[in-house]
Chain A
């Protein structure tokens, strides 16, 4: 179990001036597992992602990624290098696609570093050397693979900005996967999806976990997604971890229920929340 560790977060703290967004957070994410981070709005979930992907430099703490070639410290790495050298890819809460470019181009841009190396900083490409042509073919194959996987093949030549919302969400995941990450961070991938799209997303994420053998880190509000597919759930509230465990254990944790519903005396959940929190037997 221990050699399966992918990401180890130890005593992560992030302060913005006087505001403590994350307070001494520690958790572990493993390979071939989907780790969900949930919590009320403003609990610091996205801040955790921003620290992991180099957009923020954490105030304190250590982030260790144990990818194939030994452990690396993420908090010491300059922003863009985290994706480049360590293979952490992410999606964004408000989708950030290259809207003026086509779907296929979005996926090719994601393979920038590999293509840059192959083209010797574009020089080989400028003179049309074979070395670059091969790399580009390979990149195209990878893009096609993920287009098929996300059901976007027929939209390949569309402008990304013209895609329907649900497809944009899936394209962002496909783009992140084209980086070939060892850890994929998804920031609310199911937000704004209808139930059918949401179910498709579950299948996609599960297949990424099982087929690619990478770790997934997931921020989500949609409990049906969280409870169905995650192997491990971490609950944040006001930047602190209040629960950590498998979905079954977490959803019965009194601290979690309190965080979501306030400090009410009656432990009885309103029926619709209970439905959300419990697994829908039909869907499995």
Chain B
């Protein structure tokens, strides 16, 4: 053991000092927030002490730090892994205590929940392993170049294979999403979850135009989503317009909002743009809450009309006179799943349209100008590209897709309220884009699955969900600052095939 902890560079005393330093920090950070609980009593707040939690926090920090030291000193991977796992377990132990209805911190995890989670956890660990494997194999950097052992060669080959076959991977993904309802057709929650993930994929692809391609930092993207949702809800309620008529209108409204907002602010530099868009998102939300007569305020709008089968048939069990029932149209037995599956396919189509339009635009002058603008605005101006109009077009097109997604959201939920359009939503969508790897379409899909699918699966964890979510965002960024899939496909190639380009880049 002593030989493990002594290397040429550090002495045990150094290590002890370092650990003591972090132990002190851990004490300071946890002693009040974790160590003391404020309990509501009729007479006012009272204190309850939880020293065990402080102890756990300190131990977890020290052990975790030790793991990092082991890694830093290149000692033993196994030891490092063991230490980090122990520290993670301690953190888990620290947090897996639940509050009862009286807001008291009492019961540990129940056996019931634990068994329930195991199966799900295994499924999800597999899913995440796949995602990370793809991300790992697609990275060009971060691997030692000196020793090319066998496994490295395999990963390098896989990487080339992945990068040259992006299209095939994409097609495979699309095929998976198309057959998804056939696999999980009877499982209502699976379809619901897939629909939700698909909404975020669509939003991610839409925002990717603004942030990934044009490089405009938009922290208020959810505002356009809200505009789309409320346009449909209001048009349908007040004028009785059908979903199919409102869908393009919602997109149009959102795009107009994008242009109206973008025109004055797109001249601003990156971070100013970020704060103004954030402010705009909040303004929209405040208006939605307070304009009671129009939007129903915090109560929102309920019983929004569900979409028909392209105006041909309806999905309800009982239909009014003269309206065909969906199941009758096809002569099948009625099932409440039909509507859900139809909605799933609808959002799949909408998302794919978003994707194809984006992919096509990238190869057109406007898309190339977006990317050029992201790289260097001054050079763009010297080449005669109008920066304002180019940015505005990205902003408007991104907003338009958010509007479509919003209209879909309204019709799927049947109920919308300002609650659904908070800053957190914008942050999540932005995180999906950045984590996916800016501008990478497949990356958005991966990130949406990780960010939305994973937490939704663990809904019982309630508030812990968001805690893990936040920590996960930090962790993924630290692990891969440029996102899971961070390479750019050229929009046009001259001599080389794509395969040669990928190989050439590595040498």
Chain A positions near chain B (C-beta within 8 angstroms): 53-55, 79-85, 89-90, 92, 96-102, 104-105, 108-113, 115-116, 119, 121-122, 125-126, 132, 140, 144, 147, 153-154, 156-159, 162, 175-176, 179
The minimal Cβ–Cβ distance linking B213 to chain A, given in whole angstroms, is 11
Given contacts A96-B376, A105-B371, A179-B383, 11 further A-B contacts (CB under 8 A): A96-B378, A97-B379, A101-B372, A101-B375, A101-B488, A102-B492, A104-B490, A112-B372, A121-B366, A126-B361, A156-B495
Q: How far is the CA of A90 from the CA of B494 in the complex (A)?
A: 25
- In the complex, which residues of chain A have a beta carbon less than 8 angstroms from the beta carbon of B366? 116, 119, 121-122
Nearest to A172 among chain B residues (CB) is B379
- In the complex, which residues of chain B have a beta carbon less than 8 angstroms from the beta carbon of A158? 504
Q: How far is the CA of A108 from the CA of B371 in the complex (A)?
A: 12
Q: How far is the CA of A116 from the CA of B378 in the complex (A)?
A: 19
Taking residues whose C-beta sits less than 8 angstroms from the other chain, chain B's interface range is 35 or more
Whether A109 lies near B369 (C-beta < 8 A) is: yes
Q: How far is the CA of A122 from the CA of B360 in the complex (A)?
A: 10
- In the complex, which residues of chain B have a beta carbon less than 8 angstroms from the beta carbon of A179? 383-384
- In the complex, which residues of chain A have a beta carbon less than 8 angstroms from the beta carbon of B320? none
The minimal Cβ–Cβ distance linking B503 to chain A, given in whole angstroms, is 12
- In the complex, which residues of chain B have a beta carbon less than 8 angstroms from the beta carbon of A162? 505
Contacts A105-B368, A126-B361 given: A80-B494 contact, CB under 8 Å? no
Whether A112 lies near B365 (C-beta < 8 A) is: yes
Check B5 for interface membership: any CB of A closer than 8 A.
no
6 residue pairs bridging A and B, Cβ less than 8 Å apart: A55-B378, A82-B384, A98-B375, A100-B375, A102-B490, A122-B367
Instruction: Please indicate which of the listed interface residues A81, A97, A112 has the most CB atoms of chain B within 10 Å of its own CB.
Output: A112
Contacts A96-B376, A98-B375, A104-B492 given: A115-B365 contact, CB under 8 Å? yes
Check B496 for interface membership: any CB of A closer than 8 A.
yes
Whether B361 lies near A89 (C-beta < 8 A) is: no
Check B3 for interface membership: any CB of A closer than 8 A.
no
Contacts A96-B376, A97-B376, A157-B495 given: A122-B383 contact, CB under 8 Å? no
Check B381 for interface membership: any CB of A closer than 8 A.
yes
Chain B positions near chain A (C-beta within 8 angstroms): 357, 360-361, 363-369, 371-372, 374-376, 378-387, 488, 490-496, 501, 504-505
The minimal Cβ–Cβ distance linking B487 to chain A, given in whole angstroms, is 10
Instruction: Please indicate which of the listed interface residues B492, B496, B505 has the most CB atoms of chain A within 10 Å of its own CB.
Output: B492
- In the complex, which residues of chain B have a beta carbon less than 8 angstroms from the beta carbon of A109? 365, 368-369, 372, 380, 383, 385
Whether A84 lies near B384 (C-beta < 8 A) is: yes
The minimal Cβ–Cβ distance linking A117 to chain B, given in whole angstroms, is 9
Q: How far is the CA of A20 from the CA of B235 in the complex (A)?
A: 60
Closest 8 CB pairs of A and B: A84-B384, A83-B384, A115-B365, A156-B494, A98-B375, A125-B364, A96-B379, A122-B366
The minimal Cβ–Cβ distance linking A172 to chain B, given in whole angstroms, is 9
Q: How far is the CA of A104 from the CA of B386 in the complex (A)?
A: 21
- In the complex, which residues of chain A have a beta carbon less than 8 angstroms from the beta carbon of B504? 158
Q: How far is the CA of A68 from the CA of B507 in the complex (A)?
A: 48
Instruction: Please indicate which of the listed interface residues B369, B375, B386 has the most CB atoms of chain A within 10 Å of its own CB.
Output: B375
Whether B368 lies near A122 (C-beta < 8 A) is: no
Whether B376 lies near A80 (C-beta < 8 A) is: no
The minimal Cβ–Cβ distance linking A33 to chain B, given in whole angstroms, is 22
Whether B382 lies near A89 (C-beta < 8 A) is: yes
Neighbour of B494 across the interface among A81, A83, A84, A157, CB < 8 A: A157
The minimal Cβ–Cβ distance linking A109 to chain B, given in whole angstroms, is 4
Whether A92 lies near B379 (C-beta < 8 A) is: yes
Neighbour of A104 across the interface among B364, B379, B385, B494, CB < 8 A: B494
Whether A113 lies near B384 (C-beta < 8 A) is: yes
Whether B495 lies near A154 (C-beta < 8 A) is: yes
Q: How far is the CA of A187 from the CA of B86 in the complex (A)?
A: 60
The minimal Cβ–Cβ distance linking A81 to chain B, given in whole angstroms, is 7
Neighbour of B501 across the interface among A55, A108, A157, A175, CB < 8 A: A157
Q: How far is the CA of A109 from the CA of B368 in the complex (A)?
A: 6
The minimal Cβ–Cβ distance linking A55 to chain B, given in whole angstroms, is 7
Whether A157 lies near B496 (C-beta < 8 A) is: yes
Nearest to B367 among chain A residues (CB) is A122
The minimal Cβ–Cβ distance linking A254 to chain B, given in whole angstroms, is 37
Whether A122 lies near B365 (C-beta < 8 A) is: yes
Whether B371 lies near A98 (C-beta < 8 A) is: yes
Nearest to B364 among chain A residues (CB) is A125
- In the complex, which residues of chain B have a beta carbon less than 8 angstroms from the beta carbon of A153? 494-495
Q: How far is the CA of A122 from the CA of B361 in the complex (A)?
A: 7
Whether B495 lies near A112 (C-beta < 8 A) is: no
Whether A80 lies near B372 (C-beta < 8 A) is: no
Q: How far is the CA of A119 from the CA of B363 in the complex (A)?
A: 12
Whether A80 lies near B375 (C-beta < 8 A) is: no
- In the complex, which residues of chain A have a beta carbon less than 8 angstroms from the beta carbon of B495? 153-154, 156-157
- In the complex, which residues of chain B have a beta carbon less than 8 angstroms from the beta carbon of A104? 490, 492-494
Contacts A116-B366, A156-B494, A157-B496 given: A81-B375 contact, CB under 8 Å? no
Nearest to A90 among chain B residues (CB) is B382
- In the complex, which residues of chain A have a beta carbon less than 8 angstroms from the beta carbon of B357? 126
Q: How far is the CA of A257 from the CA of B379 in the complex (A)?
A: 35
- In the complex, which residues of chain B have a beta carbon less than 8 angstroms from the beta carbon of A112? 365, 368-369, 372, 383-385
Whether A157 lies near B378 (C-beta < 8 A) is: no
Whether A105 lies near B383 (C-beta < 8 A) is: no
Contacts A112-B365, A122-B366, A125-B365 given: A99-B381 contact, CB under 8 Å? no
- In the complex, which residues of chain B have a beta carbon less than 8 angstroms from the beta carbon of A84? 384, 386
Nearest to A147 among chain B residues (CB) is B494
The minimal Cβ–Cβ distance linking A214 to chain B, given in whole angstroms, is 16
Neighbour of B364 across the interface among A90, A111, A119, CB < 8 A: A119
- In the complex, which residues of chain B have a beta carbon less than 8 angstroms from the beta carbon of A102? 490, 492-493
Whether A81 lies near B376 (C-beta < 8 A) is: no
Nearest to A80 among chain B residues (CB) is B381
Neighbour of A113 across the interface among B379, B385, B493, CB < 8 A: B385
Neighbour of A80 across the interface among B361, B384, B493, B501, CB < 8 A: B384
Contacts A104-B494, A108-B492, A116-B365 given: A53-B382 contact, CB under 8 Å? yes
Q: How far is the CA of A179 from the CA of B11 in the complex (A)?
A: 64
Nearest to A49 among chain B residues (CB) is B382
- In the complex, which residues of chain A have a beta carbon less than 8 angstroms from the beta carbon of B369? 109, 112, 116
The minimal Cβ–Cβ distance linking B361 to chain A, given in whole angstroms, is 6
Q: How far is the CA of A158 from the CA of B502 in the complex (A)?
A: 10
The minimal Cβ–Cβ distance linking B384 to chain A, given in whole angstroms, is 3
Q: How far is the CA of A150 from the CA of B77 in the complex (A)?
A: 51
Whether B364 lies near A175 (C-beta < 8 A) is: no
Instruction: Please indicate which of the listed interface residues B367, B384, B387, B505 has the most CB atoms of chain A within 10 Å of its own CB.
Output: B384
Whether A157 lies near B376 (C-beta < 8 A) is: no
Whether B371 lies near A100 (C-beta < 8 A) is: yes
- In the complex, which residues of chain B have a beta carbon less than 8 angstroms from the beta carbon of A119? 364-366
